[in-house]
Every structure is written in C-alpha cells, then in structure tokens.
Amino acid sequence: MRIEKKRIIKEDGRSLTFYHFPDTASTTQKAAFDATTPAVSAPEPATTKATKPGREGDTNV
C-alpha cells in the first residue's frame, strides 16, 4: 500500500498530519493533499517521565 503524509503546524502550535493514499484517493482529496505545504519539523523539547512512586522494587510488569 502506498501512503504519503504531510505534517503542518496549526496557528495555535498544534501538529496536524494529513495522510494520503494515492491508489484510492478521489480527485479532490489528491488536490487537497497536493495543495498542503508541510511544516519544517522543530526538535521535540526534552521531558521527564512519570515513574510510579512509592513501590519497593517496582517494575512496569
């Protein structure tokens, strides 16, 4: 299956990805995808992980 995608950044900073399937897309769907200008990806900010507190020898399973 052929699949293409384009990611944009909305005005409020949220990410949106269009997925396009050339083999089944309608004419208007293909035109809409082709008209979309993808965003340049920005590096993801570093974050910390929420580990479980308070259990001795805790592992995920």
Partner 1 sequence: MSELRWNPTLEEWVITATHRQDRTFFPPPDYNPLAPTRPGGFPTEIPAEDYEIVVFENKFPSLRTPAAVPSVAATALEPVAPSDGVCEVVCYSPDATSELALQPVRKIEELIYVWEDRFMDLGSRPEVDYVFIFENKGREIGVTLLHPHGQIYAYPFIPPIAEKELGAAKRYFERTGRELYQDIVDQELAEKNRLVDQNEHFIAVIPFYARYPYEVHILPINSRQAISDFDSNEKQALAAIIKSVTARYNNLWNKSFPYIMAMHQRPTNGSSEDYGYYRFHIEFYPPYRTPEKLKFLAGSEAGAGVYINDTHAEVTAQTLRDTSSEL
Q: Which position among 40, 41, 43, 51 is part of the footprint of partner 1 (CB under 8 A)?
A: 51
What does residue 53 show for φ and ψ, rounded to 5 degrees? -90, 160
For residues 21 to 40, the per-residue mask of contacts with partner 1, x marking binding by CB under 8 A and - elsewhere, is x--xxx-xx-xxx-xx----
Cα dihedral sign, 42-45-46-50: negative
Report, in Å, the least distance between residue 27 CB and partner 1. 9
Q: Say whether residue 1 binds partner 1 (CB under 8 A).
A: yes
Q: Which is nearer to partner 1, 17 or 57 (CB)?
A: 17
CB-based contact 17:4 (threshold 8 Å)? no
